[in-house]
Structure 1
Amino acid sequence: MSSKITIFYIGATGYIGGSVLQAILAHPKADTFEVTALVRNETKAKAIEKALGIKTVLGSLEDDALLTEYSEKADVVFQNASANAFDATKAILAGLKQRFDKTGKKPLFFHTWGIAVLVDNALGEYLSPTVTSDYDLDTIDKLPKTIINSRVDKLLVEADADGYATTFIIAPAIIYGRPRGPLFDGPAPISALVTGVVTKWAAAAARKGRPGIIGKGANAWGYVHIDDNADAYCRLFDAALFGSAQVSHGREGYFWIEATEHTAYEVHKVIGEALVALGVIGEAEPASLTADEQVKFYGSEEYAAFFAANTRSKGDRLRKELGWAPKHTAQKEFIKDIKEDTEVAAKALKA
């Protein structure tokens, strides 16, 4: 019988998932891991296999039977593909329960949720005084069920309480920075960066001719560099799997990831400056979008309001339980990285 630690990884081709997977494979004990990644097509499967040397299986979050089958085989499941895939989460948990019933060992389930569950209705008009810690379970429990909060987290909390899986609910802030490594820099790279939030805003600015904000752009979100985000996941993974530290899970297993905080106006202004320097637009100063422009650039007023909200969070658990300390916190570095993200987006627009 194999002594390998089996990992079923969902979201390997994504901006978050790909960078975290590379970091997991750089773990000192990675030679004991047997990773199988779920991918949608043969092209991506071949790219991942060539870049990382892991196994792949073709499928999607809609393939409930497949999710259950491969979760049952896994000591560890990472779900980095969708924050609120309710049916997929149930299918994964069904597989983990089957594994526990057969082996008596509790598998680990790391689920990427979304800090957007904290959104308010600021519409860009003000900076909220409320900053929610991941220790504030009373507030987390009272978060309303909405389109961006399907209560997937409650499924994980219940599974942990039922004793057949150890679960972790991870909610990163807005992630920025270019992911690097064999998955992104090789001969057949996964182009995950163009899916980042910053690149979406850059594309909208290019279409408008200047950055567009909702209201005053006074609302703020947390931000975390792609490398600091991956480090946070790895620390949590290491503590949970190898016992390097006592770590919360289940009911207490919410982990926010944030390093700095910036208003919408500040970030759009930096994007504007980068696009002006590239000759893509002629005006760097953000302007308020009309209701029609909000629909044009965001798809709907509701989606625009999502980015015009405050989501002020504090990741206390990572800092206090795992000693995590983000390295990318300097304002100058933040501006440099946002401008680099914008340059990548500008190149994608021309392609």
Structure 2
Amino acid sequence: MSKSKTHVVQLPSSKLNPLIMPKSEKTHIFITGATGYIGGSVLSALLAHPRANSFQITALTRSPEKVVPLDSVGVVAVVGSNQDHEKLTEHARESDVVFACADADDLEAAKAILLGLKKRYEATDKSGTGVLADDAAGNYATDKIYSDLDIPMIESLTKTQPHRYVRTYIILPSTVYGIADTSLVKLGIQNPYSIQIPSLIKSCIDRKQGGVVGKGSNVWPNVHISDTATLFTTVFDAAIKGPGEASHGREGFYFGANGEHRVGRISEIIAELLYEMKLGKSPEPTVFTEEELQKYFGGPYLGSNSRVRAERAKLIGWNPLHTVDSLWASIKPETEALADMQNI
């Protein structure tokens, strides 16, 4: 279950853009969305990383009050947002790795980050068409001539060619669930709640009855928030070893999923819980009207299908620990917490 404007599922906002870092220096990491549900979990995983002492992390935050707490865990905080394109470019230019965990639909922010990484490359490597260099060793002239209008030919360059100025890794989590329980949550820095399932719970509380879209027969994949964080660090670990360790660019899409569920089953569990809590009229969910779908979710996306297999991530060592049983178990604490937050 996902909505394109959210940063957690469809394009949950997730590009990892590393350059090769000098071994003798600290790895400079810039992260956006660091106080959000996914970004905060990724930042927590980086702070707990075995090589954390070799990282210098800068985080973008919209909240001035979170500067001091971030500083207390060794993170340099910059106040700003995805709309501050000059800041994005500036800090990307100063970084070896960028984790973009804010709004994935923000094209201008993505362009600003890529511009910064391009500027970093240009400042450290002026080889230009060296990206096309072959291994002739002076013994022959090649007949292969590149045109800057022949994009497929340029894209056919192997991953090991020098001077390809940025490597991108796009991470696409599915239905991310579970209340985040990280050190940053305890410090009041990170939002511990997802968007999709909590949105469904809130709508059911508001209408005083569990709701379902159509027959609830559509299917979506799922992934626990802690497994999502390890997906990011698994790709990161592989990426910094070199371009041959993890596919990138057009082949650099990594799904985050470890099981799938019938979406209507979530609605059924919520309806049962609300009925037990005396917040629902029936233990059986009723069908959302068109007006309700628009009111609560901006449309009928909740009734869509999305089925994937996270094969590429597992090939590089991602080992998610939570199955769909963890999803079912997560719904009760989420429902209780949200009901409590609304003082019901």
Per the normalisation by structure 1, the TM-score is 0.77
Larger Rg: 2
1:251 to 1:191, Cα distance in 2 relative to 1, 3 A = closer
Specify which of 314, 320, 323 is matched with residue 326 of structure 1: 320
SS of match in other structure, 2:226? helix
Query: Which residues of structure 2 form unaligned runs of 5+?
Result: 1-21, 127-154
Matched, 1:58 2:97: no
Deviations 1:210-267 (A, max 9, x none): 1212211111111101111111111111111135982100110000110111122101
Task: Report the alpha carbon displacement of residue 330 of structure 1 after superposing the two structures with TM.
Answer: 5.0
Question: Which amino acid is the alignment partner of residue 226 of structure 1?
Answer: I
Question: In structure 2, what is the equivalent of residue 350 of structure 1?
Answer: 343
Moved more, 3-12 or 266-275: 266-275
Task: Report the alpha carbon displacement of residue 279 of structure 1 after superposing the two structures with TM.
Answer: 3.1
Task: Report the alpha carbon displacement of residue 295 of structure 1 after superposing the two structures with TM.
Answer: 2.1
Deviations 1:149-196 (A, max 9, x none): xxxxxxxx99x998210110110001001111221123x353331x42
Write the mapping of 1:179-328 to structure 2, written as runs, cut at 5 A: 179-186=180-187, 188-193=188-193, 195-242=194-241, 246-298=245-297, 300=298, 303=299, 305-320=300-315, 322-328=316-322
Contact 1:13 1:192 in 2 (8 A): no
- Tell me the matched-pair count: 290
- The separation in 2 between residues aligned to 1:278 and 1:24, in whole angstroms, is 39
Identity %: 36
Question: Which amino acid is the alignment partner of residue 249 of structure 1?
Answer: H
Task: Report the alpha carbon displacement of residue 202 of structure 1 after superposing the two structures with TM.
Answer: 0.6
Query: Which residues of structure 1 form unaligned runs of 5+?
Result: 106-156
SS of match in other structure, 1:171? strand
Matched, 1:11 2:33: yes
Question: In structure 1, what is the equivalent of residue 149 of structure 2?
Answer: none
1:93 to 1:287, Cα distance in 2 relative to 1, 3 A = same
SS of match in other structure, 1:164? coil
Specify which of 85, 88, 91 is matched with residue 70 of structure 1: 91
Question: In structure 2, what is the equivalent of residue 83 of structure 1?
Answer: 104
Moved more, 237-246 or 203-212: 237-246
1:23 to 1:323, Cα distance in 2 relative to 1, 3 A = same
Question: Which amino acid is the alignment partner of residue 191 of structure 1?
Answer: N
- The separation in 1 between residues aligned to 2:324 and 2:308, in whole angstroms, is 19
1:242 to 1:27, Cα distance in 2 relative to 1, 3 A = farther
Question: In structure 1, what is the equivalent of residue 145 of structure 2?
Answer: none
Higher helix share: 1
Q: CA-atom RMSD, angstroms?
A: 2.4
- The separation in 2 between residues aligned to 1:69 and 1:347, in whole angstroms, is 42
Per the normalisation by structure 2, the TM-score is 0.79
Contact 2:32 2:60 in 1 (8 A): yes
SS of match in other structure, 1:347? helix
SS of match in other structure, 1:84? coil
Contact 1:176 1:341 in 2 (8 A): no
Question: In structure 2, what is the equivalent of residue 173 of structure 1?
Answer: 174
Matched, 1:335 2:336: no
